[in-house]
A and B are shown apart, each in its own frame.
Chain A
Amino acid sequence: MRAGLLGSGIMNFDFSDDQKLLKEQVRKFLADKCPTKVVRRVLDGNETHADEVWKGLVDLGVPGIGIPEEYGGSGLSPLEVCVVAEEIGRAAAPVPFDTSVVLATEALKLAGSEAQKKKWLTDLASGKAIGTLAIAEGPQPPKPRNIRTTFGGGRLNGKKVPVTDGEAATFAIALANTGGAGDRAVSLVLVDLKQAAVTKKRVETIDPARKHAELTFKDASAELLGGEGEGWRLLERLYDAAAVYFAFAQVGGAEAAMWMARDYALQRQAFGRAIGSYQAIKHKLADCYVKLELARSNAYYGAMMLTEGGADLALAAAAARIAATEAYDFAAKENIQTHGGIGFTWEADTQFHYRRSRLMALSIGGPMAWKDKLVTRLEQKNAA
């Protein structure tokens, strides 16, 4: 562990004024353009995402924040992406941020060839492309040994479900079997979704504010992203980076759910007084705050390690992921509980965070898997 963590340094463990300014700017934009009625519109409707909000974010330069300048981005650090992620999470914004700005962008930065970066990162930065990740193949946690989608001779065959933003995305990065042994059985494959060999079918999920699809590939033209047989190793590294960004989005969502519950607890009267004056409610909301701050602190450290490329990243990312998932799950469910019956109605806004918290908890591996990873990494660190 770094010298600082042993107590020999004081530190600057906070975001800079410029980063806070960016955060405020995105927050204001989303408060204005993406109030809960926009989340509801997507949830209730057919559109794949809130396109006007996404276009506004593109105009603000959000997709290109972490993309190097040579590919048309603004070349800022992971810290800037983190502050934006927190605001996207706070608004429960129905836009392809986690998929396109986080997963697809990071995958390309991590494993893309120069030509791939030049084409796809440039298109991502300009908003011309929306990317996503296609890993799952039904109700099983994906593992190298159970991926049935195959890639060979430039052709991708198989079925991926669920794929977040599968309909809106113009390309996907899929995990496919390429014939190797053990963990080397799988590779990452970049596939253009605008081809006849790809069929998209919407699937119903617990969070209809983010549309999901089943993607079927029949001899779809595709190319390797990173080396053959490197898919699992790359995916693990991709998930470490994603875990930090997701943690910020989860922290934003948890904070929003906590304040929603608090506002209602102040306003709702029962037995002659505001329900927020009862300790059963006060202590529950205090616990939301405790979990939120534990998550925020772990997320900050994850962001710091991501920015520095520190050796502690794998451990810090797992801790950030676990703490943020716990905080968001708890705040989202106790927000409904604090609201009582009204919180269970379709009309209430409580559902947005309840749905999103579970989606975010599962989409890059659930808490059980991350806890196991964390201890493995702790063992490796202690052995080192």
Chain B
Amino acid sequence: MDFNDTPEEAAFRKEVRTWLEANATRKSDDKQSFRARNDDPELLKKAKEWQDKKARAGYARITWPKEFGGRGASPILQVIYQQEEANFLVPLGFFDIGLGMCIPTMMAYAKPEQLQRYVKPALHGQEVWCQLFSEPAAGSDVAGIRTRAERDGDDWVINGQKVWTSGAHYCDYGIVITRTDPNVPKHAGLTMFFLDMKTPGVEVRPIKQISGGANFNEVFFTDVRIPDSQRLGKVGEGWKAALTTLMNERLAVGLPSGGLDIDELMELARDTDLEDGPAIRNQQVRGKIAEWYVQQQGLKLTRYRTLTALSKGQTPGPESSIIKIVAAPKMQDMGAFAMELMGHAGIMKEDVPHAAGFQAQWIGGAGFRIAGGTDEILRNIVAERVLGLPADIRVDKDIPFNQLGKKG
């Protein structure tokens, strides 16, 4: 066992590092980052510039085929790039969904001339893409969507509402899953399209979250007319296309970064005076620190196991499926615990340690446990795909969508 690069990996790392040193500013410490407020137009502009620079140097999508501006290289080189980039102060996060999910779906279903038109601007950060899947009545059960698309000559007319669409307020294009046939069971009546977010009838309204931020949106469709040429996959095969999108979810191998963790908690415990002395000497506090340290290490090392498989050209095992199940409640619970150490003042969002970062993590953790697969859905996935336990009974699977919920 060792943590060393292969010669090929080491050479690539050196090349990447040299390029980054010449083109970006190294972080002064690990925790430094652009504030993750993706509703800031200045930040978006900077992110677009950085993405263009990366794309020109061939680092924007290392695993993509050369014809689309990638290098046709192994995922491990993509990981190496991300590891190195994480040491530099650059704005990230705006293009993950577009390049990680939307464009790969386009590659699977769009026509060659459409790919010619859309891939390059997306890769260079000139056009940003979003994914319009979730709806008010379809969260974990996303195949239960109600947004309708009806055929009208060579066009389709879309009516309905999407929700939790990340970045819709600054996105140029989106892929949207719609119901085209309500007379068949829910998975069979879906069709996928892509569209210009400026198409008449598309209205984006940011959602203010309990954290106070507004990174997500509601998107309303009122008689939105798009040509049949923007269909992705066959009519009625939208679920298959949606699975393509979901399977392309960003390779979850980047190291978690930026958040407050054990080091900051220990610092807080050293500075907190409890009845029996500094909190760091209290056995309950020490027990908690140890448990979270074991989780933090466990997640990091689990990623290393995944990376090892990738580095050897193998398919990683299912171990990375545990990451969010552990990381999300840890974020919430550690936040709450750190706040408790501050006493009554733990409720304050100013004049408390780490610029109220623990408070932010306590609030944010509540959302993190839901976003991108709830704690419960992720446990179902582990139980079914890893342990081979039966899928949940689906009482709706053979019933036409428009008969659901009606008394039989």
Contacts and interface: CB of A to CB of B under 8 A. Distances in A.
Nearest to B5: A10
A262 B4 contact: no
B298 A294 contact: yes
Interface residues of B, number: 60
B383 interface: yes
A323 B390 contact: no
Given A297-B298, A374-B293, A286 B2 contact: no
Interface stretch (A26-34, A170-178, A270-278): A270-278
Contacts of B312: 12, 14
Interface string A293-304: 111111011011
Contact of A293 (B263, B309, B319, B376): B319
B9 to A, nearest CB: 5
Contacts of A266: 388-390
Interface stretch (A1-9, A46-54, A86-94, A220-228): A1-9
B130 interface: no
Given A319-B293, A379-B266, A304 B1 contact: yes
A21 interface: no
B86 interface: yes
B280 interface: yes
A115 interface: no
A71 interface: no
B384 A9 contact: no
Interface stretch (B120-128, B207-215, B284-292): B284-292
Contacts of A3: 3
B248 interface: no
Contact of A283 (B6, B83, B376): B376
B86 A375 contact: no
Interface stretch (B96-104, B300-308, B346-354): B300-308
A7 B86 contact: yes
B291 A11 contact: no
Contacts of B291: 322, 371
B79 interface: yes
B83 A7 contact: yes
A11 B307 contact: yes
Q: Which of B280, B305, B307, B387 has the most CB of A within 10 A?
A: B387
Interface string B364-408: 000000000000101110111011111111000000000000000
Given A262-B389, A295-B298, A286 B3 contact: no
B33 interface: no
A372 B283 contact: yes
B20 interface: no
A279 interface: yes
Contacts of B325: 286, 290
A282 interface: yes
A368 B289 CA distance: 12
Contact of A2 (B3, B383, B388): B3
B204 to A, nearest CB: 35
B383 A282 contact: yes
Interface string B303-327: 0110111011000000100100110
B116 to A, nearest CB: 35
Interface in A116-174: none
A298 B289 CA distance: 16
B297 interface: yes
Main secondary structure of the interface of B (DSSP, over half): helix
B379 A282 contact: yes
Interface string B1-45: 111111001000100000000000000000000000000000000
Contacts of A375: 266, 280, 286, 289-290, 293
Given A298-B294, A378-B289, A265 B308 contact: no
B389 A298 contact: no
Contact of A282 (B13, B263, B309, B384): B384
Contact of B290 (A15, A265, A286, A374): A374
Interface residues of A, number: 56
B383 A286 contact: yes
B2 A290 contact: no
A289 B322 contact: yes
Contacts of B311: 10-12
B255 interface: yes
A8 B80 CA distance: 8
A262 B387 contact: yes
B299 interface: yes
A318 B79 CA distance: 29
Q: Which of A14, A266, A296, A372 has the most CB of B within 10 A?
A: A14
A10 B77 CA distance: 10
Nearest to B80: A10
B298 A277 contact: no
A249 interface: no
A42 interface: no
B262 A297 contact: no
A297 B319 contact: yes
A181 B49 CA distance: 68
Interface in A288-316: 289-290, 293-298, 300-301, 303-304, 307
A322 B322 contact: no
Contacts of A322: 290-291, 294
Given A273-B393, A282-B380, A10 B302 contact: no
A288 B121 CA distance: 45
B242 interface: no
A285 interface: yes
A382 B79 contact: no
Nearest to A16: B1
B295 interface: yes
Q: Which of B2, B262, B298, B308 has the most CB of A within 10 A?
A: B298
A372 B384 CA distance: 37
Interface string B77-89: 0011001001100
Contacts of A265: 389
A262 B378 CA distance: 17
Q: Which of A7, A262, A277, A283 has the most CB of B within 10 A?
A: A7
29 contacts: A2-B3, A5-B3, A7-B87, A9-B3, A9-B5, A10-B79, A10-B80, A10-B311, A11-B311, A13-B301, A14-B1, A262-B389, A266-B388, A273-B390, A274-B390, A277-B392, A279-B392, A282-B383, A282-B384, A282-B387, A294-B298, A298-B297, A319-B297, A322-B290, A323-B298, A326-B294, A374-B293, A379-B280, A382-B266
- The 3 A-B residue pairs whose C-beta atoms are closest, nearest first, are A4-B3, A294-B298, A282-B383
Given A11-B308, A266-B389, A371-B291, 12 more contacts: A4-B4, A10-B9, A10-B307, A12-B3, A283-B380, A286-B378, A286-B380, A290-B382, A294-B299, A304-B1, A322-B291, A378-B262
Interface of A: 2-5, 7-15, 79, 258, 262, 265-266, 273-274, 276-277, 279, 281-283, 285-287, 289-290, 293-298, 300-301, 303-304, 307, 318-319, 322-323, 326, 368, 370-372, 374-375, 378-379, 382
